[in-house]
């Protein structure tokens, strides 16, 4: 038996309706906020990701599915969405058409990590980006869309945390100060954090280790080192969130794992996700477009994990109604009945009635069991008797109401009974 690749899951028929429901809400809310969908390829040039996400990040240094294609080009299955969107934005000059652009996407992503709860090698993200606006109102738009999607799915148990990670003007100053302080308390830090002091000092801050957190109690926070522009941007965002009645908490130690973030960083977290507690995350990336060869374009965006949404929804006992209910099951008692219902099924389906019948030549009893199992709303059984008498009976499987119908059948009449 050949099975799926480790960490890559089939979405089976009994769960695909949940996915469709979630995707439907993502589409409709994104469009309500007037974002337009963008679809980019799964495969990109490897350099797109190494240049944007950062060579030193875990994603690029050890998690990407990278390989040489048949022309010896290094290609990579996309590990996140923003880089591709920005690449496409630059390549197709979307910024020339209008001063600001709002885009959203739903797409599989790939990272070769050890799978665990809420973490897969192929997973699905939904995300949105606003390119062209440097203002906090764009940040709030992104955050509020994200929150609206969560709420509309019926989630209640989540928290928004925000921070500012500064910009190219103020972050270097803070970094120097931070490295100094970290070196002072070096002996109280875990090995991993010690190693990070030089490579990526900001990441030391959000270590989950208790020992680290104790040692970091009195560490200076970036907020005190933000430049005027970053500070006012952050304050403005806070005010906008308040005006929108969007609860949030500030966590000065929130740092995100991708290098391109500037100013705003945020996460929506849930207690229901085990150790992978982020439902979604995002932030501002004012330098990325320039870095990827485009014109300087301030931008902000987020991405969320669909699998994690589904886990959180399950934990909150949100039961989805199964869509795609079967309206009519046609059963046959003999060969003539079979011929008749085959044709009738075409008419019903053309009229928009979802219709099913037996494909296995089974007994009447088996056909009816099947109708029951499929949760059919109505049943019509046809045999020689009905055809001779030119009269059919349609029966409600749940209601026990039945109607007589004359042959030739008027599909409109049938439709009105079914949709009543």
CB proximity list for 358: less than 8 A, separation 6 or greater: 331, 332, 366, 367, 370
Q: By C-alpha distance, which of 158, 138, 90 is closest to 313?
A: 158
Q: Helices 13-32 and 136-152, interaxial angle, to 10°?
A: 140
Q: What is the smallest separation between the CB atom of 3 and RNA, expressed in angstroms? A: 7
Q: What is the smallest separation between the CB atom of 334 and RNA, expressed in angstroms? A: 7
Q: What is the smallest separation between the CB atom of 267 and RNA, expressed in angstroms? A: 6
Binding site for RNA (CB under 7 A): 3, 6-7, 57-59, 63, 80, 111, 113-120, 123, 125, 192, 196, 203, 207-209, 256-258, 267, 274-281, 303-305, 307-308, 333-334, 337, 360, 362-366, 368-373, 379, 381-386, 393, 395, 397-398, 400
Closer residue to RNA in complex, CB, 202/348: 202
Q: What is the smallest separation between the CB atom of 369 and RNA, expressed in angstroms? A: 4
Q: What is the smallest separation between the CB atom of 347 and RNA, expressed in angstroms? A: 19
The torsion angles phi and psi of 156, rounded to 5 degrees, stand at: -125, -25
Contact 67, 77 (CB under 8 A): no
Q: Return d(Cα 145, Cα 135) in angstroms, integer.
A: 16
DSSP-derived letter for residue 63 is I
Q: Radius of gyration of the chain from Cα atoms?
A: 28
Tokens encoding 369? 């069991």
Q: What is the smallest separation between the CB atom of 126 and RNA, expressed in angstroms? A: 9
Strand order in the sheet with 249-250: 36-37, 101-110, 122-131, 299-305, 278-284, 262-269, 159-164, 249-250
Closer residue to RNA in complex, CB, 227/345: 345
Closer residue to RNA in complex, CB, 95/153: 153
């Amino acid at each position: 038996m050949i099975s799926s690749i480790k960490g890559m899951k089939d979405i089976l028929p009994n769960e695909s309706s949940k996915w469709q429901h979630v995707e439907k809400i993502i589409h409709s809310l994104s469009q309500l906020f007037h974002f337009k969908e963008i679809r980019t390829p799964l495969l990109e040039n490897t350099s797109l990701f190494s240049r944007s996400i950062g060579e030193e990040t875990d994603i690029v240094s050890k998690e990407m599915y990278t390989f040489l294609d048949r022309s010896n080009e290094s290609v990579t299955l996309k590990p996140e969405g923003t880089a591709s969107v920005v690449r496409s934005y630059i390549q197709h000059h979307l910024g020339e058409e209008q001063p600001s652009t709002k885009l959203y996407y739903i797409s599989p992503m790939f990272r070769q990590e050890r799978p665990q709860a809420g973490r897969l090698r192929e997973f699905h993200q939904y995300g949105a980006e606003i390119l062209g606006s440097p203002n906090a109102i764009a940040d709030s738009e992104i955050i509020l869309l994200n929150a609206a999607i969560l709420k509309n799915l019926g989630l209640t148990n989540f928290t928004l945390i925000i921070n500012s990670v500064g910009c190219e003007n103020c972050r270097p100053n803070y970094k120097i100060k931070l490295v100094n302080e970290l070196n002072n308390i070096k002996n109280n830090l875990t090995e991993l954090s010690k190693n990070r002091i030089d490579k990526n000092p900001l990441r030391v801050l959000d270590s989950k280790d208790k020992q680290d957190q104790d040692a970091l109690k009195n560490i200076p926070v970036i907020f005190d080192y933000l430049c005027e522009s970053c500070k006012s941007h952050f304050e403005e965002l806070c005010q906008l969130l308040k005006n929108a009645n969007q609860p949030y908490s500030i966590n000065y130690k929130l740092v995100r794992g991708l290098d391109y973030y500037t100013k705003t960083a945020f996460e929506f977290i849930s207690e229901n996700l085990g150790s992978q507690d982020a439902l979604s995350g995002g932030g501002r990336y004012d330098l990325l477009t320039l870095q990827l060869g485009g014109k300087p374009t301030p931008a902000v965006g987020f991405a969320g994990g669909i699998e994690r949404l589904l886990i959180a929804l399950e934990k909150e006992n949100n039961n989805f109604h199964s869509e795609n209910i079967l309206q009519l099951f046609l059963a046959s008692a003999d060969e003539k009945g079979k011929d008749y219902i085959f044709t009738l099924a075409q008419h019903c389906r053309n009229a928009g009635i979802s219709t099913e019948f037996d494909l296995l030549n089974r007994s009447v009893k088996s056909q009816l069991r099947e109708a029951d199992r499929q949760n059919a709303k109505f049943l019509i059984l046809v045999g020689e008797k009905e055809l001779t008498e030119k009269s059919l009976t349609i029966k409600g499987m749940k209601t026990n109401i039945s109607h007589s119908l004359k042959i030739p059948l008027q599909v409109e009449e049938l439709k009105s009974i079914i949709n009543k």
